Structure 1
């Protein structure tokens, strides 16, 4: 019982840690964006387009031998639930923008629903973790422990379902934003990042914790019912044994009295009928007495 409880608490804690980490980080999706190369300058001499002319002379014809993908840079970007950050091509810093502002208007409602579901997922995970810790510490009353276990399992299952819905909705919103988002943001190629993997690892641990908690609750209830049934059966057997002993002693006592009365009557009538003690059958006497009473 303790081993299962510790396993449930550990899985729930890991799920909560992964969920919070994924929620506040911006590596759900990573990739590259294709942007035009800037003009070369004194400060920037590489990864740029050099026109080879004096920019102060407007009469000069500008030629560029850069063609195709040579005219573009591929900058790295990473996106989370809240923000999308891309590499700044002019320096080594990053520029971050709100992903809510980047999402198309048709997908903003689903994105907000995903955010609310993600926050509820984390909140219910916290509630389930607290109940599991209380159940682990509270060992004085088995019934109270079972109630805490049951509520913890329910909250954990609900949180897992909300987390799954939130992750799926965010994935759909991101895919739509890739196709219909702002032109200066659309990725050239992209893939899921480590934050996305943490989010689904959190969901997996959450469902594992809920299954373990339900299994522990079911096992405890079955054992409790089996012990109660065995105890009731033992009590019934002891009562039946005591009742059998009581009736057997009373029957033997009444039969012995009947034999004494019958013997005294035979002596009074003048007939001597020897009755060996070893040949007395108390069952026959009881039956004969029952017939005479009838």
Structure 2
């Protein structure tokens, strides 16, 4: 495999990796991860539990019936013991948090959590992410055809130029979409519903995949543009060499003045006319044919 073919295969691999990163980021819900502080629920079983509040009821004395509405609950947990930390993760589509018994997760739409005035920005972010995926997919198809039908012709340069343009557009769209989502999440942390606001949070692996896809897009665009520029400079020279080799020039030397005139037939010379008049007029008494350059 020559160097050009190797560079094209490496470019195709980078585009496929960027596409995989973008798809994983868009489809997952681990853009942001953290913990949420919530109050423990009351114990529902007589033995109690670690994730609930233990309490006791005041019992009636004598034969009087106990009025549950007047009963007093004595809660033993105070301070930080009344709260529990629950892990959560959120993405473009869902926000999920673990159950109290840690046997699963309960999820809800992230669109229903953010403030109403920010929902339009979230849709713009989602649209930019989806368009980013389609642009990378189109670049992968074009570069795949470039590698499959390998040729050194100059008409393939248009494919390299198209791939460079599509990848830089995909990278810019992805960058804008990531920044919009980050802004929306930070606003939701401050202004979101009380039963969702996290206590601590950080970016997850999906967010890293999204920015990794952006980095690959820009790197592929730079590599393809550099290869296109180098090939665009060499292509006219190559075409000129091929044209010159197909039509070799004829090196015809101009005849000397002494050879411009030659005698075709027999031309007897008379005395005193040893030199032939090359002006086009034969000397007097000369017969025969004569050619003059």
When normalised by structure 2's length, the TM-score is 0.79
Matching residue within 197, 214, 233 for 1:222 = 233
Residue pair 1:4, 1:213 contacting (<8 A) in 2 also: no
Q: Structure 2: which 5+ residue stretches go unaligned?
A: 60-65, 264-269, 275-293
SS at match of 2:55: coil
Q: Distance in 2 between matches of 1:171 and 1:37?
A: 30
Q: Distance in 2 between matches of 1:136 and 1:229?
A: 26
Q: Structure 1: which 5+ residue stretches go unaligned?
A: 261-266, 272-294
* 1:117-145 alpha-carbon deviations (Å, 9 max, x no partner): 00000011111100000111122572342
Alignment pair present for 1:17 and 2:20: yes
* 1:157-215 alpha-carbon deviations (Å, 9 max, x no partner): 11111111111111111111111111100011100000100111111111112222222
- The structure whose RCO (Cα within 8 Å, separation 6+) is larger is 1
Distance 1:270 1:22, change over 3 A: closer
**Which structure features the higher share of helix residues?**
1
Residue pair 2:37, 2:84 contacting (<8 A) in 1 also: yes
Shift of 1:47: 2.4
Q: Compare 170-179 and 217-226 and name the one that shifted more.
A: 217-226
Question: Counterpart of 1:29?
Answer: 32
Residue pair 2:19, 2:137 contacting (<8 A) in 1 also: yes
Shift of 1:147: 1.9
Shift of 1:100: 0.7
**Which structure features the higher share of strand residues?**
2
Question: Counterpart of 1:49?
Answer: 53
* 1:18-76 alpha-carbon deviations (Å, 9 max, x no partner): 11011111100000001001112327411222113369755443333433322111100
Question: Counterpart of 1:5?
Answer: 8
Question: Counterpart of 2:98?
Answer: 87
Residue pair 2:93, 2:111 contacting (<8 A) in 1 also: yes
Distance 1:257 1:20, change over 3 A: closer
Question: Counterpart of 2:222?
Answer: 211
Q: Compare 195-204 and 212-221 and name the one that shifted more.
A: 212-221
Question: Counterpart of 1:247?
Answer: 253
SS at match of 1:16: helix
Alignment pair present for 1:101 and 2:112: yes
Q: Compare 98-107 and 215-224 and name the one that shifted more.
A: 215-224
Q: Compare 215-224 and 225-234 and name the one that shifted more.
A: 225-234
Distance 1:44 1:94, change over 3 A: farther
Residue pair 1:40, 1:50 contacting (<8 A) in 2 also: yes
Superposition RMSD in Å:
3.0
Q: Distance in 2 between matches of 1:44 and 1:109?
A: 45
Q: Compare 12-21 and 51-60 and name the one that shifted more.
A: 51-60
Q: Distance in 1 between matches of 2:31 and 2:273?
A: 115
Q: Distance in 2 between matches of 1:23 and 1:259?
A: 90
When normalised by structure 1's length, the TM-score is 0.79
Matching residue within 168, 193, 204 for 1:193 = 204
Distance 1:36 1:214, change over 3 A: same
Question: Counterpart of 1:130?
Answer: 141
Number of positions where the alignment pairs a residue of Structure 1 with one of Structure 2 = 261
Question: Counterpart of 1:74?
Answer: 85
Residue pair 2:54, 2:77 contacting (<8 A) in 1 also: no
